[in-house]
Structure 1
Amino acid sequence: MDILDRQQEGPIVYMNRTHTPSFWTKFIELRETDRLQHLKKMVEVRHESGQAEEEQTGWSWRELLNSFFGIKITGDGYKGTRKSPDSYNLYNRSPDFRNNYGWSIALDGSDYSALKHSGIGVYLVNLTAGSMMAPHLNPTATEYGIVLRGTGRIQIVFPNGTSAMDAKVTEGDVFWVPRYLAFCQIASRAGPFEFFGFTTSAHKNRPQFLVGANSLLHALHGPELAAAFGTTEERIKRVLDGQREAVILPSPVATPTGRREEMMILETMEEEEMIMGF
C-alpha cells in the first residue's frame, strides 16, 4: 500500500520531483474557457463509454440467442429461425494454461465456428482450494461467469482503485465484469472452485495480468515505472520479482517462504481470509 499510495498525480507525472504541482493547482491555472472545455470532454468521454458498453452488451445477448439456440428477437418476442450448431465439449479440450494451482480454457471463433456468428468467446476455469486467478483486466470484452461448483470470492475494482465489488459466490451464482475493470477470482479453502462463462468478443481476449511472472508491469520495468509510483527502481524490482508464478497464483500456505517481506504478506492475507470467513 505504501508504494500504491505514494503517487498522487494523474496520468501525467513529473520526472523531476523538485516541483510537482497538484492536479487542482494545474487545473486552476487554466483559463476559464479551457477549464470548461476540459470538463466537457471528461463528461463526453464518460457518456460515450457508457453508451458503447450498453450497445455491446445488448448486441451480444441477441447474437447469443440467435446463434446458439436458434432464437431470433423480434418485435413480437422470440422466434425460432434455424437448427442449432453441433455442440462442443470444453472438457475434451486440453487446458490453454495449467500449473499446480489450477487450469483455464478459452474458446474463440478460431476454435469453434459458431462463435464467429455469435460474436462471443467461451471460457472454463478451475482453481484449487485457496488459489487465485491473478488480478487482470479484459481489454476487448465484458466477461460473464457462472459458478459450476465450489465457493469463492469475486473482487472487482474501478479504474480509480476503489472497490466495485467484493462478493462471496457459490454454485449457481452469476457474475459479470465490465471491460477495462481489474478483477480476480479467489477459491475458498474448502475445495476447488470452478466457473464457466463467456466474453462479448469472438476474438482472442488476451487478458492483461497486473501481477505475476507474466505481469504487463515487467514490460514497463525501468525508471519510468519507478517515477510513476514515486519510488526507486530497486524497490519496484523487488515487488515485481516477488511473485514467481503466473496467471493462477497459490494460496499463502503453498507460497515459498524465506524472506521477511514474504512472511508479512502471507500473514496479512491469512488475517483477511479469516475475517471474510474463509
Structure 2
Amino acid sequence: MTNEATPDERREFVLATLSERGRLSTTELSERFGVSEDTARRDFREMAADGLIKRVHGAALPISPAALPFSGRYRIASDLKARLAKAAARLVLPNQVVVMDGGTSNLEVARHLPRDLPATIVTNSPPIATATSEHPMLEVILLGGVFDKRSQMTLGARVLDALRDVNADLCFIGVHGFHAEFGLTTSGYDEATIKQAMMKSAAEVAAVATPDKFGSAAAHKFGDLALVDVLVTEGSARAREWVTAASIPSRIVYC
C-alpha cells in the first residue's frame, strides 16, 4: 500500500492489528503503508498521547481498560468480574490473613467472601474495607496513607512501612496488564511499589483477570508473570490460547 493512506486509516489499522494479535512494530506499520519509520513512530506517539495504545521500544501494545479511573473500570465486564470473583473468593480459607490490593476485580472478591468466614483482611482500599464492613467474622485492617482518588487506594511510605510487618497467607494483587514480555504492569508509579510490597508480604499471590488484560501493558512493571501463583480468569478460547502461548507457570482457575 502507498502513502496515500491517511493518518486516520493508519490508526484504524493499528487498533485492528493490536486487537487481533496484540503487538505491532514501527517497521511493520512503515512497510504496510509505505511510509517512513519516523512517520510510524509519530503515529504511535500521537496515539499514545490520546490514550489509544501503549508505546514500547519500536512497537505498540494494546492499552489496558484497567488504566481508566476507578468509576470507569467498574462498569467494564461487571458480570464476568462477579463470576470470577465468586471463584476467587473460594481461595480464602478460614483464619487466614489476606492482603487485598485495590481495584474493581478485588472489590468484587471482597463482596463475595462468605459471611461466616473468619479471616483477617489487610487492604489499602477504602472501598474494600467498606464492602466487608457487614461481614461479622472478618477483621479488617485499613492501611493508612495518602488517598489517591483515581485508583481509590491509599499509597505512600506509611503503607509500605505497615506492609513490612505483615506476614500474610494470601495476597490478591490487582494487575492492569499481563504481557509475556513486559510482565505484570500498572499505570501508577506509587501503585507499582505498593504492589511489590504486598506480594512480598504473602506466602501465595493470586490475581483475577478478565481476558482484555492479556497482552496489554501499562506504564510501570512491578513483577514477572511467574510471581502469580494462582490466576483466575475466563475459560474462553481467547484466554486459554493466551495463557498457553505465554507459558504462565501459575495454577489456572478457569470460570
Same fold, judged at TM 0.5 (above): no
Higher helix content, 1 or 2: 2
TM-score normalised according to structure 2 size: 0.30
Which has the higher relative contact order, 1 or 2, with Cα contacts under 8 A spaced 6 or more apart? 1
TM-score normalised according to structure 1 size: 0.28
